[in-house]
């Protein structure tokens, strides 16, 4: 692609000029479009309107299942046979408790989602009381997703202080009959218009990977632009057993990132949110999505789980972005580490002597004048330091320091316990597999903590050898 085109994409988007279908399809389908220049062009637009801020959203699936609509992608639809936990609206106290959890998780917006076609007037009145209660208790915005909405109900919710109403268009007008037949596209458009006419900001997004074309993606992005939608969640379709839409999306990480860039160019001042499927399709390239997108969901989605909040916070921090919250990323990371540790303690899975060492902080700390030391930052973002006091080639004392999770601490303590008092050659026999075996509680997705620990220990021993031999 002509290098000047990337700068034109940025300039025209900042000027809020429309993007042609030809260029949009080229962005999504042409091998001549290089990803990094495209991400940089989208980031310049994002930076103009949102800086480096990311807003965190938490979904509460307030009412699940038994929907009358036949949306083929949804596990709650009338045509789905998926095994889900169906339940009516949660109690007010449960909703308030989960609002507190969302606030303490650093969420800027708390999103209450209900199954069903449309709320009754009584339900809207009940929601109004809840919205007032949530906003008077916590410094958090509130979004509601409850099907179709007329102007009367929208105005009631507005008076209660509702910040956003969510109603996803999901795909283009052309493709919509292929995914739903119990209502049409115009019904959804009308709901968004009713909300806007009642001065309620709207959230409306898309599901990518349901069999649509590149032109369909362009058209839905343009529809959202025409409707002046303030917030656009981008979902990547996750096929679930029992859902009528039987399709396995062929979505590469690169394609998903290009979709995010396209939505940023077409909707320059809208909140572009990473939603369901980001972990599955973006994989290790998730951090690149922060360049076009400025928002994301944490703590899972409606009927699918996501990565841990700790992993999400660490990704945001490591990528150099900030969050819109009363809490800092460092505070949230430390809180999640403590919760993780408390969970392990409550499950009583860690060997008791290791728990005793952690509690007493045995082996944890730094040395001022070590015989050997090392510092390594792992691919996950965790950091490990080791300090060795060695005499006659025997490890007389050992300390470590880590910024990692609870399991990194546990690996550090276990390694220190196994090595202290041993010869250098014996210490070099320690393997990640041995630590994993000894730490019965270590989950599979934290085995890299053992690898980081042993790698740092080996490097500290190498530092000792270089100084003395």
Using 50, 70 and 90 to split pLDDT, how confident is the model at 19? very high
Whether the pLDDT of residue 357 is over 70: the answer is no
Query: Does the fold of domain 352-468 match that of domain 3-326?
Result: no
Asked if residue 411 lies in contact with residue 442, where contact means CB atoms within 8 angstroms, the answer is yes
Domain ranges of the chain: 3-326, 352-468
| Average pLDDT of the residues in 344-348 | 55
- The three state secondary structure string of 161-189 is CCCEEECCCECCCCCHHHCCCCCCHHHHH
How much is the pLDDT for 360?
63
Separation of alpha carbons 166 and 148, rounded Å? 10
| pLDDT range class, residue 345, cuts 50, 70, 90 | low
Q: By the 8 A CB rule, do 340 and 406 touch?
A: yes
Q: What is the pLDDT of residues 129-180, one digit of tens each?
A: 999 999 999 999 999 999 999 999 999 999 999 999 999 999 999 999 999 9
Q: Which residue has the tokens 């202080």?
A: 161
Question: Domain 3-326, what architecture?
Answer: Alpha-Beta Barrel (3.20)
Instruction: Please state, in angstroms and rounded to a whole number, the distance separating the CA atoms of residues 416 and 363.
Output: 7
Residue 140 to residue 103: CA distance in whole angstroms: 6
When pLDDT is cut at 50, 70 and 90, the band that residue 440 belongs to is: confident
Q: Which residues are registered as beta bridge partners of 169?
A: none
- Residue 250 tokens read as 């062929």
Average pLDDT over residues 189-210: 97
pLDDT in tens, 362-421: 788 999 999 999 999 988 778 999 999 999 999 999 999 998 877 888 899 889 999 999
352-468 is classed in which CATH architecture? Alpha-Beta Complex (3.90)
pLDDT tops 90 at residue 109: yes
Q: What is the CA radius of gyration of the chain?
A: 26
């Amino acid at each position: 692609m002509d290098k000047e085109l990337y700068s034109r994409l940025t300039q025209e988007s900042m000027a809020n000029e429309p993007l042609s279908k030809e260029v949009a399809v080229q962005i999504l389908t042409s091998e001549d479009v290089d990803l990094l220049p495209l991400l940089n062009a989208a980031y310049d637009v994002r930076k103009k309107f949102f800086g480096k801020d990311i807003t965190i959203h938490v979904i509460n699936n307030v009412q699940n299942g038994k929907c009358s609509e036949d949306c083929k992608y949804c596990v709650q639809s009338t045509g789905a046979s998926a095994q889900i936990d169906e339940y009516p609206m949660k109690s007010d106290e449960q909703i308030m408790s989960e609002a507190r959890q969302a606030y303490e998780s650093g969420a800027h917006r708390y999103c209450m989602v209900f199954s069903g076609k449309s709320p009754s007037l009584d339900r809207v009145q009940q929601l109004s009381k809840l919205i007032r209660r949530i906003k008077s208790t916590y410094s958090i915005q509130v979004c509601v997703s409850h099907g179709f909405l007329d102007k009367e109900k929208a105005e009631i919710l507005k008076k209660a202080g509702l910040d956003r109403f969510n109603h996803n268009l999901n795909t283009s007008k052309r493709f919509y009959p292929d995914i739903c037949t119990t209502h049409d596209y115009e019904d959804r458009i009308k709901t968004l218009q009713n909300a806007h006419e009642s001065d309620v900001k709207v959230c409306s997004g898309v599901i990518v990977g349901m069999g649509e074309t590149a032109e369909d993606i362009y058209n839905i992005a343009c529809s959202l632009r025409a409707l002046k939608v303030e917030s656009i969640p981008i979902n990547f379709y996750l096929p679930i057993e029992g859902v009528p839409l039987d399709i396995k999306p062929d979505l590469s990480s690169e394609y998903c990132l290009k979709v995010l860039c396209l939505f940023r160019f077409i909707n320059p001042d809208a909140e572009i949110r990473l939603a369901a499927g980001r972990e599955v399709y973006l994989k290790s390239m998730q951090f690149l999505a922060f360049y076009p997108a400025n928002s994301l969901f944490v703590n899972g989605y409606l009927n699918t789980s996501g990565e841990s909040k700790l992993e999400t916070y660490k990704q945001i921090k490591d990528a150099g972005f900030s969050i819109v919250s009363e809490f800092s990323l460092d505070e949230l990371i430390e809180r999640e580490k403590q919760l993780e540790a408390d969970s392990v303690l409550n499950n009583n899975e860690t060997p008791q002597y290791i728990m005793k060492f952690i509690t007493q902080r045995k082996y944890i700390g730094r040395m001022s004048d070590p015989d050997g030391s090392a510092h390594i930052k792992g691919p996950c973002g965790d950091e490990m330091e080791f300090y060795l006091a060695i005499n006659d080639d025997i490890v007389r004392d050992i300390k470590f320091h880590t910024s990692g999770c609870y399991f990194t601490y546990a690996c550090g303590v276990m390694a220190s316990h196994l090595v202290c008092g041993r010869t250098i050659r014996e210490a070099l026999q320690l393997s990640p597999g041995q630590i994993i075996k000894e730490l019965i509680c270590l989950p599979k997705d934290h085995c890299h903590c053992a690898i980081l620990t042993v790698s740092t220990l080996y490097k500290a021993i190498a530092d000792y050898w270089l100084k003395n031999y």
